Amino acid sequence: MAIQTQEQIVTFTQKAIEKVKEFLKEENDPTLGLRIYIASGGCAGFTYGMTFDVPGEEDYVYEIEGVKVIIDKYSAKYLKGANVDYVETLMATGFKIDNPNSTYSCSCGSSFSV
């Protein structure tokens, strides 16, 4: 059973949460939530990832405006306090993570180090 928590490890702007809801609606599966994770790799050491998934036993799970947010224990320590936004510019469209734990980010915006 997943670890239910009231603490929001990662927060979302209104635009980001609305976009997640839009994408979740297309999935048409009420068991899914948004998994946010980090993985080794990228030019700065770590990369961000997002996918729709179901919680596992060791995952932290909480809700924001009806969206189930899932974060594994490993990623939680690096993502604590991060904020997710959704940006639409001429150069890029997508989710952007502002992470206070990051000491360096490369120019691609999806790779960081701590």
User: Model confidence over 92-113: pLDDT tens digits?
Assistant: 788 988 888 776 555 555 554 4
Instruction: Judge whether 74 lies within some domain.
Output: yes
Instruction: Judge whether 26 lies within some domain.
Output: yes
Q: Which residues contact 32 (CB under 8 A, 6 or more apart)?
A: 24, 52, 53, 54, 68
What pTM value is reported for the model? 0.85
Instruction: Report the C-alpha gap between 36 and 32 in whole angstroms.
Output: 13
CATH no. for residue 101?
2.60.300.12
Instruction: Judge whether 114 lies within some domain.
Output: no
Domain membership of residue 100 as a residue range: 3-109
| Radius of gyration over every alpha carbon of the chain, rounded to an integer in angstroms | 14
Per-residue pLDDT of 29-48, as tens digits, reads: 999 999 999 987 656 577 88
Instruction: Report the C-alpha gap between 74 and 38 in whole angstroms.
Output: 8
Strand partners, 104: 113
What's the pLDDT band for 60 if we cut at 50, 70, 90?
A: very high
Under DSSP, the state recorded for 5 is -
Instruction: Judge whether 62 lies within some domain.
Output: yes
What is the count of structural domains for the chain?
1
